[in-house]
Amino acid sequence: MRKIFYTGLVVLLSGIGNSSFAQISKVGTTASNFLEMPVGARSSAISAFAAIVNDPSAMVLNPAGLAELNGQEIQIEFTDYYLDFTHSYVGIGLPTKKGVAGIHVLAMNYGEFEETTEQAQGKTGRTFGAYSVSVGGSYAQKLTDKLSVGGTIKFLHEQIEDVSASGLAFDVGTLFITPFDDIRFGVSVTNIGSKMQLTGNGLITECDLDDSSSGNGDTDCNLATREYDLPLMLRVGFAWDAYTSDDIRATLTIDGNNPSNNVQSISVGGEISLLNDTVFLRGGVPYIGQNNSKETFNAGIGVKYQVDSSLKLGFNYAYHGYEYLGDVNKLSLQIYF
């Protein structure tokens, strides 16, 4: 049975990697792509997280991981991207009698833009802003000591000046500890939801309803926009504690990724825990097999500090390498109480 399990794992992930070359990429065909940005300094540094995520970022990565929280936990995260783009996440996990509940806010701020119009033949001197936000609630529960399930419902809103789109989405996930060396198996399906369509006063323009005759006055017309799907993602992952001792743990992870707007790919990573889960070293390579993926590799470190008997702090840093646009740094603070 052990040989069958490992052989099946290799065949599954090899098939995902090989099939990516025969597919057509659908990049740019979905809305709300801020949902694809890395969340969780720990998870994004490891790169393959479907079976290992166990903090409030699980609410948007694999909701079943929320069931791993042993106490109340707050995660605050900030990423300074290119230009003046910023990516922020706040998640709160609250254990209940039967499971763990949570709420989160995920936001992407695109900064200020200089307005240009056809009438002004260039800049008007005015500026406008744009942002995307997700607000959601989650619940996860351990059905047995080996099996956890979880789900998230979230409200999505994207705004650019006075044009916006809104919708609802769901995430579901499961975690299972297998009988084979306690290898963890995780599956998540994220961003199941409604289509997004832009509406608003910014789509109103003047037009001539009958340009075949003269003397007609212009009237207001509403520009039509298309509906776009959300970036649906299926992840199947495994995590294996390859080495454990009293003070050291080395974990290897691998994910198979099947997005609706890109080809299938594989992510691999790992984490080394030192001094009895006090210091952490992490690294990984995301989306192997996606020819248009410009991420090179990820890395990170983490520290947990026991303030007193009722309060612990966690500091995590993740580095994201990109081929052309430069490096990105992610910082997060976790509060355990």
Given this model, what pLDDT does residue 202 score?
85
Tokens found for residue 34: 């801020």
Kindly tell me if the per-residue pLDDT of 275 is higher than 70. Answer: yes
High-pLDDT (> 90) share of the chain, %? 70
Closest by CA to 66, choosing from 186, 162, 242, is 186
283, part of any domain: yes
Model pLDDT for residues 173-194, shown as the tens digit of each residue = 999 999 999 999 999 999 999 8
pTM above 0.85, yes or no: yes
Question: What element of type H or E holds 6?
Answer: helix 2-19
CA pair distance 58, 50, nearest whole angstrom? 9
Mean local confidence (pLDDT), 188-217: 82
203, part of any domain: no
Given this model, what pLDDT does residue 5 score?
47
229, part of any domain: yes
Mean local confidence (pLDDT), 2-20: 50
101, part of any domain: yes
10, part of any domain: no
Read off the pLDDT band of 120 (50, 70, 90): confident
Question: Residue 108's CB: how many other CB atoms inside 10 A?
Answer: 22
User: What one-letter code names the amino acid at 176?
Assistant: F
CATH number at residue 166: 2.40.160.60
Buried/exposed code over 55-86 (b: 16+ C-beta within 10 A; e: otherwise): bbbbbbbbbbbbbbbeeebbbebebebeeebe
Model pLDDT for residues 55-83, shown as the tens digit of each residue = 999 999 999 999 999 999 999 999 998 88
| DSSP per position, 79-126 | EE-STT-EEEEEEEEEE-SSSEEEEEEEEEEEEEEEEEETTTTEEEEE
Q: Which residues span the domain enclosing 265? A: 16-198+216-336
CA pair distance 270, 250, nearest whole angstrom? 7
Given this model, what pLDDT does residue 212 score?
67
Helix, strand, or coil (residue 74): strand
258, part of any domain: yes
CA pair distance 77, 132, nearest whole angstrom? 16
206, part of any domain: no
CA pair distance 229, 30, nearest whole angstrom? 5
Among 137-151, 196-210, 229-243, which stretch is predicted with the lowest mean pLDDT?
196-210
For residue 172, what are the contacts with CB-CB under 8 A and spacing of at least 6? 63, 149, 150, 151, 152, 188, 189, 192
CA pair distance 293, 287, nearest whole angstrom? 7
9, part of any domain: no
Give the chain's domain count: 1
CA pair distance 193, 151, nearest whole angstrom? 13
Given this model, what pLDDT does residue 114 score?
87
**Are residues 234 and 189 in contact, defined by beta-carbon separation less than 8 angstroms?**
yes
Given this model, what pLDDT does residue 19 score?
47
